[in-house]
Structure 1
Amino acid sequence: MVSEEKPKQLLHLVFGGELTSLDHVDFRDLSQLDIVGIFPDYASALTAWRGKAQATVDNAAMRYFIVHMHRLLDPQGQ
């Protein structure tokens, strides 16, 4: 019997909000941050990020980010 190995979870958080300035990352209102979700791999996080970024393209101060949570949880690993 061949066992299937599950791919390693590499968690990614996608979130965004309106910035106070385009020069640095300071959010205008932290209570209004848009937490899009946590995704099991970079590819699905990128898809979610791209959708949100494109949906808010008319607001130049709105920015979305991908946080590599797996790097925070295991800084020594990959």
Structure 2
Amino acid sequence: MPETEKKQLLHLVFGGELSSLEGVQFKDLSNLDIVGIFPDYASALTAWRSKAQQTVDNAEMRYFIVHMHKLLEPEAKGA
């Protein structure tokens, strides 16, 4: 990897309607909204904010950011 190239720290943004506000159980897994995979936390956060704002009127709709880089390389420092 060239010195100027930034290391990819992949993040997944997804969401869906929850069965209850008490936990993280989705009503229908086939209706999950996969927003996308992003190369860094900042761009994932921007996408998450946009989707969360679009669904603010639905209290049961939740979006999440998954740190995929931590799943792919759990032993990596700084992840």
In which range does the TM-score fall when normalised by the shorter chain?
A: over 0.9
* In 1: Cα distance, 2:31 partner to 2:64 partner: 15
Q: Aligned to 1:25, what secondary structure does the other structure show?
A: coil
Aligned to 2:69: 70
Gaps of 5+ in 1: none
* Displacement over 3 Å in runs of 4+: none
Name 2:27's counterpart in structure 1. 28
Residues in 1 aligned to 2:30 and 2:68: alpha-carbon distance in whole angstroms: 21
Q: Distance between the aligned counterparts of 1:24 and 1:55, measured in 2? A: 21
**1:65 is paired with a residue of what secondary structure?**
strand
Question: Quick check: which has more Rg, 1 or 2?
Answer: 1
CA distance in 2, matches of 1:46, 1:61: 20
The residue aligned with 2:47 is 48
In the alignment of these two chains, the number of paired residues is 76
- Name stretches of at least 5 consecutive residues in structure 2 with no aligned partner: none
TM-score (norm 2): 0.93
Identity among equivalent positions (%) equals 76
TM-score, normalised by the number of residues in structure 1: 0.94
Residues in 1 aligned to 2:5 and 2:17: alpha-carbon distance in whole angstroms: 37
Residue 5 of structure 1: how far off its partner (Å): 1.9
